[in-house]
Structure 1
Amino acid sequence: MGRNDIPDGILVGRAQVPGFDYPRIVTVRDGQLIDITARGMAMVRDVAESGHAAAHVRSAPGRAIGEIGAVLDNSIAGRTRDDLPRLLAPIDLQAIKASGVTFVVSLLERVIEEQARGDKSRADALRGEILELIGTDLSQLVPGSDAAMKVKAALIEKGVWSQYLEVGIGPDAEIFTKSQPMSAVGHGAEVGLHPVSKWNNPEPEVALLVTSKGEIIGATLGNDVNLRDVEGRSALLLGKAKDNNASASLGPFVRLFDETFTLETVSRAEVALRVEGEDGFVLEGHSNMAEISRTPESLVAATIGTHHQYPDGLVLYLGTMFAPVKDRDGAGQGFTHKVGDIVSISTPELGTLSNRVNLSTQCPPWTYGTSHLLRDLARANLI
């Protein structure tokens, strides 16, 4: 990833900058990474909650701290130099939430995971059986509609109803806590798999930046790393399947909404995925946001409102339609990650987010939390 992969627009993020113990707030101007950290605007949370995030980032005074291509390169695990800036996840105090089963393809794969009970060798045969039963009509259904409820009744009669079908076509969206504030990793960092997992995959997604008032003000890319065998054993293991060290990746920047980039732009975006393994394996795919079964606005409304508040705002993964099934280790074995895989998620509107896969136990541990950030900013007289 280089300078040409960075989109035009109003970008905000965080970087570890030499000489500072705490993350700095940054943007990109004319190919340079610009440090715009200021008192009262020393966190992405502050910028988002200001009520004029895009205007602030566009006009805030700052200083150039590096050419963007060099910073991106220095952000890649194993290449990092301490005397150069490196990018971090572009959020800080926001809650990290996710929505699931928002595309029909991922819906079918979740049903297969459940029926396979975590055994990937059974997935191929089950896929054919389930598709024969329910076909592809689900892609045309509006969740919660009368038509969807008729399909639900028919599937129950056939004996293939599933908790995933419930959230896929039923009235209520699946919203869960992906990870904790301050725990996400950014572009170039390693992403982690719990070592117990033998069947897992990346989930390339668009994630929305949402204020404490429920206003959607920007978007970024995300990898909602998933353990298919763990979740397939029981949906009650969702926390173990989803929330592990370095399992939430976001970046490289949040692009804030303005006259050239809106929620409508996000709704039309096509997200590309590429996985390159050290074994020579290559997997490619695309996720078209236009095929989402629940609108981004409805997913945000299901997350935040009078029923649930987030005083520091949130970031919301919107779900993925890409559930990789390409055989990797043999016919009928499907896809699973191997340590060393490079996962790249990209769209022209948001750039490219790349991460290297490792075990969560081998990724750098998460040690810098909210208390550390607030103490450091207080010492620097920035809050």
Structure 2
Amino acid sequence: MRVIRYTENNQATLAAVTDEGAIYSLPQQDFLALVQQADDKGTTPLQIIQDVIKDSTPLAAKLEDLTLLVPIEAPEVWASGVTYLKSKEARNYEATGGKLDATTFYDKVYDAERPEIFFKSTAARTQGPDQDLYIRSDSNWQIPEPELGLVLDKNGRVLGYTVGNDMSSRDIEGENPLYLPQAKVWKNSCSIGPAIRLAETVEDPYQFTITCRIFRNEEKEFEGSATTGQLKRKFDELVSYLTRDNEIFDGTVLLTGTCIVPPNEFTLGDGDRIEIEISDIGTLNNPVKSQVRKAQATS
């Protein structure tokens, strides 16, 4: 069972999507209200949804006909780095100016007890399905980073899973690791959606298949796939470090790292389109736009 938000009569509406694709409107205001109602009744979000839809009629519209919003307005989005072998190799390549099989401090991060976790976005900065993502104006080497996102409550409980895009400027991060915030955070540099898969309906979260496709002039420029089974760290480990001596909020999303990296010669361009698909969750689609470099103030 998945949960989505869409626009109906200029209002955000919550809905459930069955595995067969039937869509049912829900009375709750948002995903967290659904979770809170389940907690208050001592039951689960899935049971609340099932109680609603057993006497309801599904929408006539199909999922692709709806104007989807972010499935949750996450107060904060955090991200994990160097959690897959492919990510470690890519970071080493960046940090050494393109040397193959190089060894750097990223090897230490990959093997260390403490994972890399960094702040990525806020609700106001996070884009949803079909919304524009921007290319950073002072970077010449940018890529999407397709990731599985954990939707958490304030205690670190995993409420569900979503699709995330942690856009990255490879040249800025490679120039100096202290530039990581600038390599990761700029206007429209993060997206999540299109749905939240309820955690209770996922038997094994290490069996998700992640696929990233990049289109240029609507022709496929790149496609890569991997599985969350390739993740070096467990999700509870990442959550435990995120919440260690740190206050998080209901609806926080933790992106768990990327396992798909386009070829080193590739960089995103204006007009590209990114699709990130995760099995049993859905496909997050975002167009790519260039930011116009702001003119410097003159006297």
Tell me if 1:67 matches 2:61: yes
Secondary structure of 1:213's aligned partner: coil
Q: Which has the higher helix share?
A: 1
Counterparts in 2 of 1:310 and 1:335: CA distance versus 1, 3 Å: same
Determine if the alignment matches structure 1 residue 359 to structure 2 residue 281.
Answer: no
Shift of residue 230, structure 1, vs aligned partner: 1.4
- Partner of 2:32 in structure 1? 45
Q: CA distance change for structure 1 residues 114 and 49 in 2, over 3 Å: closer, same or farther?
A: farther
Match of 1:268 in 2: 207
Tell me which residue corresponds to 1:25: 14
Cα distance in 2 for residues equivalent to 1:69 and 1:313: 23
Deviations 1:13-60 (A, max 9, x none): 22222243xx3322225645433243xxx2323334443333233333
User: Which residue of structure 1 aligns with residue 100 of structure 2?
Assistant: 127
Q: Tell me: CA distance 1:347–1:234, structure 2 relative to 1, closer, same or farther (3 Å).
A: same
SS of the aligned residue for 1:319 comes to coil
Mapped to 2, the partners of 1:70 and 1:271 lie a distance apart of 20
CA distance in 1, matches of 2:199, 2:51: 15
Which of 231, 241, 257 aligns to 1:319? It is: 257
* Residues 1:19 and 1:291: Cα distance change in structure 2 (over 3 Å): closer
1:99 paired residue number? 80
Q: 1:67, 1:226 → 2: CA distance?
A: 35
Give the Cα separation in 2 of the matches to 1:248 and 1:99.
14
2:16 is matched by which residue type in structure 1?
Answer: T
- CA contact 2:74–2:253 (8 Å) conserved in 1: no
What secondary structure does 2:123 align onto?
Answer: coil
State the shift of 1:272 in Å: 1.1
Q: Are 1:223 and 1:250, in contact at CA under 8 Å, matched by a contact in 2?
A: yes
Residue 342 (str. 1) matches residue 273 (str. 2): yes
Opposite residue 8 of structure 2, the aligned amino acid is V
Give the Cα separation in 2 of the matches to 1:14 and 1:235: 37
Task: Say whether the 8 Å CA contact 1:204–1:221 is kept in structure 2.
Answer: yes
- Aligned-pair CA distance for 1:63: 7.6
Partner of 2:92: 111
CA distance in 2, matches of 1:63, 1:308: 43
The equivalent of 2:297 in structure 1 is none
Q: Matched residues in 2 for 1:270 and 1:19: separation?
A: 34
Equivalent residue for 1:377?
none
Q: Summarize deviations over 1:251-299 as a string: whole Å, max 9, x none.
A: 11001023x423x2x2122211111112845211112211111111111
- Between the aligned residues of both structures, percent identity stands at 27
- Superposition RMSD on alpha carbons, in Å? 2.4
> TM-score normalized by structure 1?
0.68
Instruction: Indicate if the aligned counterparts of 2:162 and 2:195 stay in contact, CA closer than 8 A.
Output: yes
Q: Conserved in 1, the CA contact under 8 Å of 2:4 and 2:17?
A: no
Other-structure match for 1:135: none
Q: Is the 8 A contact 1:192 1:361 kept in 2?
A: no
Contact persistence 2:152–2:250 (CA under 8 A): no
SS in 1 for 2:125: coil
- Distance in structure 2 (CA, Å) of the matches to 1:177 and 1:355: 21
Q: Pick the aligned partner of 2:129 from 187, 198, 207.
A: 187
**Secondary structure in structure 1 of the residue aligned to 2:161:** strand
Conserved in 1, the CA contact under 8 Å of 2:2 and 2:281? no
Question: TM-score under structure 2 normalisation?
Answer: 0.86
Encode CA deviations 1:93-147: one digit per residue, 9 max, x unaligned: 442111011011111111221222xxxxxx2xx125x2xxxxxxxxxxxxxxxxx
- Do the aligned partners of 2:22 and 2:58 also contact (CA within 8 Å) in 1? yes
Change (3 A) 1:169 1:70: closer
Q: Is the 8 A contact 1:54 1:257 kept in 2?
A: no
> Hey, what does 1:285 align to over in structure 2?
224
Deviation for aligned residue 1:226: 0.7
**What is residue 115 of structure 2 aligned with on the other side?**
173
SS of the residue corresponding to residue 87 of structure 1 reads: coil
Q: CA deviation at 1:311?
A: 3.1
8 Å CA contact 1:286–1:322 kept in 2: the answer is yes
Structure 1 residues 232, 48: closer, same or farther in 2, change over 3 A?
Answer: farther
Rounded to whole Å, the distance in 2 between the matches of 1:180 and 1:213 is: 19
SS in structure 1 opposite 2:96? helix
SS in 2 for 1:67: coil
What residue identity is the alignment partner of 1:343? Answer: I
Letter in 2 for 1:261: V
Aligned to 2:24: 34
Q: CA 1:281–1:216 in structure 2 vs 1: closer, same or farther (change >3 Å)? A: closer
